[in-house]
Chains A and B, each alone.
Chain A
Amino acid sequence: MSVELLNFFETFLNGLMAGVMYSLVALGFVLIFKASGIFNFAQGVMALFAALTLVGFMTGQVPFSHLINAIFGTELHNWGAGLPAFLAILLTMVVMVALAFLIEKLVLKHLVNQEPIILFMATIGLAYFLEGLGDLMWGSDVKTLDVGLPSGGSFWWEDVTKTWAAQGAEYYGMYIDLLDVSAALIAVVLVIALSLFSQYTATGRALRAVADDHQAALSVGISLRRIWVIVWSIAGFVALVAGIMWGSKSGVQFSLSLIALKALPVLILGGFTSIPGAIVGGLIIGVGEKLAEAYIGPMVGGAIENWFAYVLALAFLLFRPQGLFGDRIIERI
């Protein structure tokens, strides 16, 4: 194979990996949107909050330590050596479930039957609240997160691909980040587990029922509020996974909440109501970005990775507003 072709493959592969990360965030949006018709602006912040909490548990930080120290004049910072990753992840999940419960109790319950735009506004409020809460609880400094996932380039892959180049060509193998690979694997497991759960369990059936028809779901005895708590918990779980991945990759910092914005073009591409759509949309955006950067970038001075996804989404809005997999919008007039 020629070096150009190999370079193309490498870009493509890295695009796929980056795409998986986008898909993870988009997945959280789709879950909530399907079950309750709410576009959850806070999904990105939920990922940030989960990552912050996880780091806090792992490093043994005292929550609200700045606040406590300021009021009582104490010097609290750490309560110990911290927890092992597994335990910390479990505890963070408990926090995310509690959060889902509170969101239902304090926000959603009071907004039943309101216009979608009002619920959307509520989630914007929620996003800012969570961001502030995360800051207050764990501080705003950039933290590193290491839950023991492998990272760095794969030498094995480099060695394997080195031999693919034509004889005598100057080629040193493909680069692939092990962290990206583990993220991809985890995402695959997550999606399979979620679809099995929704296909083959009674609660999964109830989730699908609510997503399909609220009124009918009520009439067979499904409690919408219970389902919402479950859905937000699952979204919290997905946020936690996304938070771990992004946090391990680029550190836990407040700009993490902005990845939510990258999920928007993914959703427009994949459709707001489709889980496979979120996956495929994420992959297309990831690959598209990387390829565009590598091949179109040099012509226009580079750095098109930042806006390419949005242009792609715009083009999609013109020709297929429901996305690749979204429900067709048919309206009787």
Chain B
Amino acid sequence: MNMHDITVKHGQELRMTRPDDGIRRGDPLLVVDNISLSFGGVKAITDISFDILKGEIRAIIGPNGAGKTSMLNVINGFYHPQEGTITFRGEKRSKMRTHEAANQGIARTFQNIALFKGMSVLDNIMTGRITLMNRNMAWQALWRGPAEREEIEHRQAVEHIIDFLEIEHIRKTPVGRLPYGLQKRVELGRALAAEPALLLLDEPMAGMNLEEKEDMSRYILDVNQQFGTTIALIEHDMGVVMDLSDRVVVLDYGRKIGDGTPDEVRGNQDVIDAYLGVSHDE
């Protein structure tokens, strides 16, 4: 295969190679319906419903222990809710394994970075494309023909992501040796490599300084605008949330207490109470 084919295939930028689901921008991509989740007697999520529209940035906020991460874990199949349904790309989903969710186009990052620490940045991001690769092991073992072509093709796409995130200089560095901010960026890169229909970001800016936060915000906006990727993010920095997101859902003690545009949520009395604390014995 000559290099020309690759350039033609990928153009100058990343492109969505997943089959078109026929959902138009602004229609619901993911619908969460009356989800309840408990661990033994502990209720983590109680009867939560909301939707994520295609092309939007949806923030999930709430105080510590509100059930935000549990919600993401339900969406990408780590947890199986006892009640309620999730509809993704028009398909109602029953019990789903995590790797199946990934195959459907849900990619995520984690609160406490879950990268493959011993592997290079390049290898880490390449793993993100596993769901898009389909040559079987026999071909790979031979390392000729289709498998080699496929590897080159995906490598090309990964290089675009590396360029996009401006991490060319650390391409070959083992991830475990990188500073925290860069690790967060690599993790975003790995999620992007899957060319996801829905990108879940769990506190992408936790523990970052102002400059790193600005960079990350820019990447998130770029991803959303350039690639049209739908994003759901959990974040504690209210300034960031209000600036970035199109709509916000607010959780507290596993229940939904607010849902709407940043301005609507800001004015919601329940939300203000949850964040500032309110005495109940007036």
Contacts and interface: CB of A to CB of B under 8 A. Distances in A.
Contacts of A2: none
A13 B126 CA distance: 43
A209 B119 contact: yes
Interface stretch (B9-17, B52-60, B110-118, B227-235): B110-118
Contact of A219 (B107, B141, B150): B107
B140 A202 contact: yes
A220 B131 CA distance: 7
Contacts of B114: 213, 215-216, 219
Interface string B20-59: 0000000000000000000000000000000000000000
Interface in B115-134: 115-119, 123, 126-128, 130-131, 133
B276 interface: no
B144 to A, nearest CB: 11
B78 A221 contact: no
Interface string B67-109: 0000000001010000000000000000001110011000110
A220 B190 contact: yes
CB-CB nearest 7 A-B residue pairs: A221-B102, A216-B114, A212-B116, A221-B131, A201-B140, A218-B98, A223-B99
B128 A201 contact: no
Dominant SS at the A interface? Answer: helix
B135 interface: yes
Contact of A218 (B99, B115, B135, B194): B99
A206 interface: yes
A216 B143 contact: no
A222 B130 contact: yes
Given A208-B123, A212-B119, A220-B107, A202 B130 contact: yes
Contacts of B150: 202
A215 B114 CA distance: 7
A204 B139 CA distance: 12
A219 B76 contact: yes
A50 to B, nearest CB: 20
A208 B126 CA distance: 12
A219 B98 CA distance: 6
A230 interface: yes
A221 B99 contact: yes
B133 A216 contact: no
B1 interface: no
Interface residues of A, number: 24
Size class of the contact patch on chain B: 20 to 34
Contacts, number: 86
B174 to A, nearest CB: 11
Contact of A220 (B97, B130, B137): B130
Interface string A191-210: 00000110011111110110
Contacts of B108: 219
Contacts of B141: 197, 201
B151 interface: yes
A209 B116 CA distance: 6
Nearest to A204: B140
Given A202-B151, A206-B127, A206-B130, A216 B115 contact: yes
Contacts of B265: none
A196 B140 CA distance: 11
7 contacts: A202-B150, A202-B151, A203-B137, A205-B123, A213-B116, A220-B107, A220-B127
Contact of B118 (A200, A204, A212, A218): A212
Contacts of B131: 220-221
Contacts of B190: 220
Contacts of A205: 119, 123, 126-127, 130
Contacts of B220: none
Nearest to B133: A202
Interface in A10-63: none
B53 to A, nearest CB: 23
Given A208-B119, A216-B114, 16 more contacts: A200-B143, A201-B141, A201-B143, A202-B150, A202-B151, A203-B137, A206-B130, A208-B123, A212-B116, A213-B115, A217-B127, A218-B98, A219-B76, A219-B78, A220-B130, A221-B194
A221 B103 contact: yes
B194 to A, nearest CB: 7
A221 B110 contact: no
Contacts of A217: 116, 127
A242 B115 CA distance: 34
B110 A216 contact: yes
Interface in A197-254: 197, 200-206, 208-209, 212-213, 215-224, 230
Contacts of A202: 126, 130, 133, 135, 140, 147, 150-151
A221 B194 CA distance: 9
A213 B117 contact: yes
Contacts of B151: 201-202
